[in-house]
């Protein structure tokens, strides 16, 4: 049996997302432990640093900073520093970030709806 | 500003997927480095171990085994061992796995379509 994804409608040639290809890198950013949660949080509203720290429960200062930097570099997140005293920095989704969130939210909704029964299966199988 | 996601249509209470909640665990499985790629690979066709190793380029034996075990325990993947000689073991998506893949594929398609321009932005910004 020949496995070829070359004609796949998912745009993957030479198998699923070859190691060296750009989509693998972007996939890693988007599905990183904290990337998903930050994107979902910002899909609801613009948030300040401290608000993100609260909403994305469990994220460390270091990981939040790193996640935001990656999402900013990818053009998903906009960092807006207001020239006021005390300083106010707000994070929001760019137009590209909203495009992404639109594809991410149905997945997150499905997970939220099904997680309990999925993990119940674990205990049942043990 | 009060940040409350309690009324969110995404089913998240107390912020985005509280640390202790089931959806966070399932999210980690589904968006694990290899979990996504295995799910996408199996969404196209039933595959044998060696085929999965080839298609999910870069995965080690150990990580593939671990990923398949988790996805099987979550009820996404079905492992079918045919009683033949030589042994033949096939992996496919369960009905729940297909439900999940249906939400995952639009995201993967979008990433595949946009990855190049996303990473080009990186170099442009440097």
pLDDT for position A121: 77
Residues whose CB is less than 8 angstroms from the CB of residue B62 and which lie 6 or more positions away in sequence, other chains included: none
Domain B31-125 belongs to what architecture?
A: Orthogonal Bundle (1.10)
- The rounded distance, in Å, linking the Cα atoms of A13 and A21 is 10
**Residue B66: CB atoms within 10 Å:** 15
- The rounded distance, in Å, linking the Cα atoms of B35 and B70 is 9
Q: Do B44 and A100 touch (CB under 8 A)?
A: no
Give the number of A-B residue pairs with CB atoms closer than 8 Å.
175
Q: Do B8 and A44 touch (CB under 8 A)?
A: yes
Among A10, A47, A119, select the one facing B22 at the smallest CB separation. A119
Q: Is the pLDDT of residue A111 over 80?
A: yes
With beta carbons less than 8 A apart as the criterion, state whether B97 and A118 touch: no
Q: Do B56 and A111 touch (CB under 8 A)?
A: no
CA distance A109 to chain B (A): 5
ipTM of the complex: 0.81
Four-residue CA torsion sign, A39, A44, A50, A55: negative
Flag whether residue B61 sits within 8 Å of chain A, measured between CB atoms.
no
CA distance A86 to chain B (A): 16
Q: What is the mean pLDDT of chain B?
A: 84
Helical spans, DSSP H, in A5-94: 22-30, 35-44, 49-55, 61-73
What's this model's pTM, rounded to 2 decimal places?
Answer: 0.82
Among A18, A28, A111, select the one facing B33 at the smallest CB separation. A28
pLDDT for position B17: 61
pLDDT for position A16: 62
- The rounded distance, in Å, linking the Cα atoms of B19 and B1 is 23
- The rounded distance, in Å, linking the Cα atoms of B109 and B115 is 10
Residue range B39-46: mean pLDDT, rounded: 94
Top residue of A5, A13, A17 to mutate, by most chain B CBs within 10 Å, is A17
Residue spans per domain, chain A: 1-30, 32-125
With beta carbons less than 8 A apart as the criterion, state whether B41 and A16 touch: yes
pLDDT above 90: percentage of residues in chain B: 61
Among B1, B75, B30, smallest CA distance to A123 is for B75
Q: Going edge to edge, which strands form the sheet with B47-48?
A: B47-48, B88-93, B77-82
Decide yes or no: CATH 1.10.490.10 for domain A32-125.
no
Q: Do A16 and B41 touch (CB under 8 A)?
A: yes
With beta carbons less than 8 A apart as the criterion, state whether A53 and A67 touch: no
């Amino acid at each position: 049996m020949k496995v070829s994804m070359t004609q796949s409608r998912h745009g993957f040639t030479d198998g699923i997302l070859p190691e060296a290809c750009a989509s693998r890198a972007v996939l890693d950013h988007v599905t990183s432990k904290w990337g998903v949660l930050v994107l979902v949080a910002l899909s609801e509203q613009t948030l300040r640093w401290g608000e993100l720290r609260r909403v994305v429960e469990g994220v460390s200062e270091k990981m939040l900073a790193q996640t935001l930097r990656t999402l900013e570099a990818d053009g998903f997140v906009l960092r807006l520093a207001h020239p006021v005293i005390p300083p106010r920095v707000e994070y929001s989704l760019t137009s590209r970030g909203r495009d992404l969130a639109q594809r991410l939210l149905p997945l997150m909704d499905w997970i939220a709806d099904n997680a309990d029964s999925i993990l119940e299966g674990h205990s049942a199988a043990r």
